[in-house]
Amino acid sequence: MSGFWYRLVFICLLLPLPWSQAVAQDAATVELKAAIAGHADTTYADLVRMVIPDLTAKDDYHVGSSPIEMRHIAGPESDSSPPESSSIFSVAVFAMKAGGKDRLAMLFDLGQSPDSAEGYAVLALYDLTGKPRLLDAVNVATDRFTFFRQPGKLSLGADNDALMISSTHFNSSQGYMSTPVVLVRNDRFELIDIIDTFDENVCSYKRSQNLAFQSLEDGQPYRAIKADITDTTVPTGEDCGEEPPQAATSDISVTYHWDKTAARYVADSDAFEKLSAENAKRF
């Protein structure tokens, strides 16, 4: 299967079911030709065109060349080149709060980077209160396929939200997931952390690591973010010629608190870093 059609099939699998958009905190998937609420003369394609200036419609999707220059959310060491051409079928959007202002966050995957094992995915921030304008855009791909988590938005108080991205690839028996958690401050995207999880589905057992978030009021300008990973191992009962691991469940938690002096979120432990190192031994 060609890279184009592989991406099409993968994207279709990620599209939400018709009722999922009604669930709080889930992103809405919209067609590029659709008009933006309150801006009848502006479509989502027009917003994407602020990032990919030569974007044009082709059949049921849009195509364009490389996007404007942008940084990687994880910093300069993660920078990569965008693909020379991109095909976009739809975009995922969130209406969100940032510094008490209404903003629109949009995510679209451009495909494979030519000089990296990761893909290239654009997270863009727009101000739609007047004439639509682009405020910031970053590459948030930390693996091959990138999309908003479900749920993908977390309230940090009345004036601010955090965004959670999923970036993943998989093979026949293993699934790799990284989750960038992103804050918007001064109309710029800032990385809070990237959390790695790893699933296995082999003959004798299944092991999954499920990540969940909640915000906690702690008296700071931005609420604390508590992230929990439930690590579960379940034997399949199949005779695979080897002794399966015992059934087990463990919980790993890290809470991120806003540090006023450092002006950023700080984790209260290195538990996720240790888990990532342990997972790497199982690859």
Q: Where are the domains of the chain?
A: 3-280
Q: What is the pLDDT, as a whole number, of residue 176? A: 95
Instruction: Look at residue 47 and give its three-state secondary structure.
Output: helix
What are the DSSP calls for 126-156, one per residue?
Answer: EE-SSS-EEEEEEE--SSSEEEEEEEEEEE-
Q: Chain-wide mean pLDDT for the chain?
A: 90
Q: Pairing between strand 91-98 and 101-112? A: antiparallel
Are the C-beta atoms of 112 and 144 separated by less than 8 Å? yes
d(CA 163, CA 26): 10
Does the pLDDT value for residue 23 go beyond 90? Answer: no
Banded pLDDT at 247 (limits 50, 70, 90): very high
pLDDT (average), residues 232-244? 92
Q: What is the pLDDT, as a whole number, of residue 25? A: 59
Share above pLDDT 70 across residues of the chain, in percent, rounded to a whole number: 91
More confident position, 21 or 65: 65
Distances (CA, A) of 132 to 63, 157, 162, 269: 22, 25, 22, 41
What are the DSSP calls for 62-117, one per residue?
Answer: EEEE-----EETT-GGG--PPPSEEEE--EEEEEEEETTEEEEEEEEEEEE-TTSS
pLDDT (average), residues 6-13? 41
Q: What is the total residue count of the chain?
A: 283
Q: What is the pLDDT, as a whole number, of residue 226? A: 98
d(CA 63, CA 247): 48
Q: Pairing between strand 56-58 and 133-139? A: unpaired
pLDDT (average), residues 111-116? 88
Tokens of 234: 């379940």
Question: Using one digit for the tens of pLDDT, what is the confidence trace for 119-178?
Answer: 999 999 999 999 999 999 999 999 999 999 999 999 999 999 999 999 999 888 999 999
Output DSSP code: residue 192.
Answer: E
Say if residue 134 is exposed, middle or buried (CB neighbours under 10 Å; 0-12, 13-18, 19+): middle
Does the pLDDT value for residue 202 go beyond 50? Answer: yes
Please list, in sequence order, all residues whose beta carbon lies within 8 angstroms of the beta carbon of residue 98, skipping any fewer than 6 positions away.
Answer: 125, 159, 160, 161, 184, 185, 187
Banded pLDDT at 7 (limits 50, 70, 90): very low
d(CA 127, CA 135): 7
CA 56 to chain centre: 25
